[in-house]
């Protein structure tokens, strides 16, 4: 298994962000925790919910871990004929993670049809050791999370439900655990494949959860969030203000940066107010030319100007009985500002070219990303109109001030775009989510929406959305942290040793060609004569290695 770790340089995928308190294996966050602590949790679960349910929980936990490691292994699959080597990364990672030393003793695999029968020997299982310490030798196998891992790994790898079970466990006596795996249907009923399905409907714990949820529901807010997603304090403050205004006819002014979701808040206000059955009409004042804005808002009477061949109702009339949302109202031209003020004062509009006033019953919601106080000082916005609009201002927080909502928003958007693109992805990788949380979000929620749409489009079917699927042009911060070298030391320690070694070599009569030849020969020896593996150890291409060996007068094997 050591050669497998060397062959795929798995240690380089383990990173330590010591200052941030994070450990990463590839793009998945890991935890370095105490086996005794996990053992205590395991014992507590057995005593609380019983052996069967505890087993089920640990098997499902292991199943998820196995699927994640299978995704890592599949990234290394490059159609070079090393299918079995790549497949063995799973058992290798299980040992790399300190869980168990696994050795595949028999494997019959049909790579094309995804069929496999496999037997594995486990030594030094942490789970068997923990179970023995808590319960002693018994008659039932106890490596539950490890069985879940093997099942999850192979199921993901072959895209077929292949179930493992222990045929012998160290908890039943002996030094090793033995497991066997084959397609679920071949086990018949004599296997715990149902442990990986939905929860039992008659589970008393599930019934208790539902009862508690109902009790908690009495204390929850009466106003539903609808399409608004968020729990962060800044979001809650804005939402609470909005909720208090929903049932009243008060004019609301939504303030906030571009892309923060002001129109979503306006729609929620309409949908949860007494005018929900009426129309919701949205107007982007910045998108309409100034010479057309008045006719768009207030309508046109036939013959009002050249080309006005028919009378046409404006947005106010179309919104009668409902809500009119004026977005980017800070860009409204002065003439339109005067007429809008009159509508707010009288509740009447006049179409262009018409002398008759028309009554309109409209709730007005305005929004802007402009500082209206500055616009007033600069003479671009009327102070009297501002005070009419700003009766009830609500500031929508930018996304960078509600970062804790990013996972919730991303999940909601993921569901939306999976449906739109008829594509299924398993979610966002931990590294990609970390990158989203670290991003500055100049475009706010709209930028996040664009990223998730891009991610769904680029991610493989059934796979995870990774950093490269989300960020274009290298915007995201690269993964950082100290790596392990091949000896198992952190790379900063390795660099110190390398520097010391180089200094020692330079103190002697240094012969670069001689030392290079020795290094090439050592790499070939470690790779068992395989030039492809040796080239990977040296960080060069196979062609480069072949050329250097020929220059040095050596013949390389395959």
Tens digits of residue pLDDT in 145-159: 999 999 999 998 888
- Residue 453 and residue 515 in one domain: no
Q: What is the mean pLDDT of the chain?
A: 83
Q: What average pLDDT does this structure show over 326-355?
A: 89
Domain count, the chain: 4
Q: Which helix (H) or strand (E) holds 346?
A: helix 334-346
| pLDDT band of 558, cuts 50, 70, 90 | very low
Under 8 Å between Cβ of 358 and 349: yes
Residue 91 lies in a domain: yes
- Residue 30 and residue 154 in one domain: yes
* CA-wise closest residue to 50 among 42, 60, 61, 40: 42
DSSP letter (8 states) at residue 460: P
| pLDDT band of 490, cuts 50, 70, 90 | low
N-to-C CA span, the chain: 21
CATH code of 453's domain: 1.10.8.60
Residue 547 lies in a domain: yes
Q: Is the pTM of this model over 0.85?
A: no
Q: What average pLDDT does this structure show over 424-433?
A: 87
CATH code of 267's domain: 3.40.50.300
Among the ranges 308-322, 363-377, 525-539, which has the highest mean pLDDT value? 363-377
| pLDDT band of 539, cuts 50, 70, 90 | confident
Q: What's the confidence (pLDDT) of residue 58?
A: 93
Higher per-residue pLDDT: 478 or 422: 422
What is the extent of the structural domain holding 310?
A: 233-397
* 3-state DSSP of 354-389: CCCCEECCCEEEEEECCCHHHHHHCCCCCHHHHHHH
Under 8 Å between Cβ of 111 and 25: no
Of the three residues 470, 502, 524, the one that is the final residue of a domain is 470
Q: What average pLDDT does this structure show over 157-185?
A: 90
The C-alpha atoms of residue 528 and residue 92 are separated, in whole angstroms, by: 19
Higher per-residue pLDDT: 26 or 479: 26
The C-alpha atoms of residue 452 and residue 428 are separated, in whole angstroms, by: 9
Query: How deeply is 517 buried, as exposed, middle or buried, from its count of CB atoms within 10 A (0-12, 13-18, 19+)?
Result: middle
Tens digits of residue pLDDT in 76-125: 765 555 678 788 888 888 888 889 999 999 999 888 777 889 999 999 99
Residues of 267-279 as b/e, b for ≥16 C-beta within 10 angstroms?
A: bbbbebbebeebe
- Residue 39 and residue 133 in one domain: yes
Tens digits of residue pLDDT in 5-39: 566 667 777 778 877 788 888 778 888 889 889 99
* CA-wise closest residue to 321 among 283, 355, 295, 359: 359
Distances (CA, A) of 445 to 283, 369, 403, 413: 20, 14, 11, 10
- Inform me whether the pLDDT recorded for 557 exceeds 50: no
The C-alpha atoms of residue 392 and residue 253 are separated, in whole angstroms, by: 6
Residue 339 lies in a domain: yes
pLDDT > 70 in the chain, percent: 83
Q: What average pLDDT does this structure show over 529-538?
A: 86
Tens digits of residue pLDDT in 213-239: 555 444 444 466 778 988 888 999 999
CATH code of 123's domain: 3.30.1380.20
- Residue 506 and residue 420 in one domain: no
- Residue 453 and residue 496 in one domain: no
Residue 481 lies in a domain: no
Token pair belonging to 89? 């990364």
Q: What's the confidence (pLDDT) of residue 410?
A: 93
- Residue 304 and residue 343 in one domain: yes
The C-alpha atoms of residue 505 and residue 515 are separated, in whole angstroms, by: 10
Distances (CA, A) of 90 to 115, 120, 154, 456, 460: 17, 12, 8, 27, 21
- Residue 448 and residue 320 in one domain: no
């Amino acid at each position: 298994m050591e050669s497998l770790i060397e062959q795929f340089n798995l240690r380089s995928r383990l990173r330590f962000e010591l200052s941030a308190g994070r450990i990463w294996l590839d793009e998945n966050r890991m935890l370095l925790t105490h086996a005794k602590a996990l053992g205590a949790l395991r014992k507590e679960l057995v005593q609380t919910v019983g052996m069967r349910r505890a087993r089920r929980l640990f098997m499902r936990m292991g199943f998820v871990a196995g699927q994640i490691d299978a995704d890592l292994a599949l990234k290394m699959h490059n159609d070079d004929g090393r299918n079995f080597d790549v497949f063995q990364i799973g058992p290798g990672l299980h040992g790399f993670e300190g869980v168990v030393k696994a050795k595949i003793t028999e494997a019959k695999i049909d790579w094309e049809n995804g069929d496999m029968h496999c037997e594995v020997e486990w030594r030094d299982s942490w789970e068997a050791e923990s179970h023995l310490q808590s319960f002693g030798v018994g008659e039932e196998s106890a490596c539950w999370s490890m069985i879940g891992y093997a099942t999850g790994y192979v199921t993901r790898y072959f895209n077929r439900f292949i179930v493992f079970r222990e045929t012998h466990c160290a908890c039943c006596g002996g030094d090793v655990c033995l497991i066997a795996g084959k397609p679920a249907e071949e086990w018949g009923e004599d296997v715990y494949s149902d442990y990986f399905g939905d929860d039992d409907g008659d589970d008393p714990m599930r019934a208790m959860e539902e009862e508690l949820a109902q009790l908690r529901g009495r204390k929850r807010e009466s106003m539903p969030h609808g399409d608004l997603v968020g729990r962060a304090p800044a979001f809650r403050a804005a939402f609470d203000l909005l909720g208090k205004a929903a049932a009243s006819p008060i004019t609301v002014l939504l303030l906030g940066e571009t892309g923060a979701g002001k129109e979503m808040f306006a729609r929620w206000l309409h949908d949860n107010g007494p005018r929900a059955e009426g129309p919701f009409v949205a107007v982007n004042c910045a998108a309409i030319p100034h010479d057309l804005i008045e006719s768009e808002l207030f309508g046109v009477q036939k013959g009002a100007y050249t080309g006005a061949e028919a009378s046409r109702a404006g947005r106010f009339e179309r919104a009668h009985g409902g809500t009119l949302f004026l977005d980017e109202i800070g860009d409204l031209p002065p003439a339109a500002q005067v007429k809008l003020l009159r509508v707010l004062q009288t509740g009447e509009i006049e179409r262009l070219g018409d002398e008759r006033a028309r009554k309109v019953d409209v709730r007005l919601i305005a929004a802007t990303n402009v500082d209206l106080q500055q616009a007033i000082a600069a003479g671009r916005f009327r102070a009297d109109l501002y005070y009419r609009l700003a009766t009830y201002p609500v500031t929508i927080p930018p996304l960078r001030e509600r970062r804790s909502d990013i996972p919730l928003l991303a999940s909601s958007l993921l569901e939306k775009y999976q449906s739109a693109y008829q594509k299924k992805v398993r979610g966002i990788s931990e590294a990609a989510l970390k990158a989203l949380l670290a991003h500055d979000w100049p475009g706010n929620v709209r930028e996040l929406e664009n990223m998730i749409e891009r991610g769904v489009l680029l991610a493989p079917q059934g796979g995870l959305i990774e950093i490269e699927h989300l960020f274009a042009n290298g915007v995201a911060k690269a993964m950082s942290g100290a790596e392990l070298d091949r000896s198992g030391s952190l790379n900063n320690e390795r660099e110190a040793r390398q520097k010391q070694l180089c200094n020692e070599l330079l103190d002697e009569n240094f012969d670069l060609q001689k030392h290079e030849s020795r290094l090439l020969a050592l790499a070939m020896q470690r790779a068992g004569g395989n030039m492809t593996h040796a080239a990977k150890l040296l960080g060069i291409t196979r062609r480069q290695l072949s050329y250097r060996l020929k220059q040095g007068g050596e013949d390389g094997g395959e």
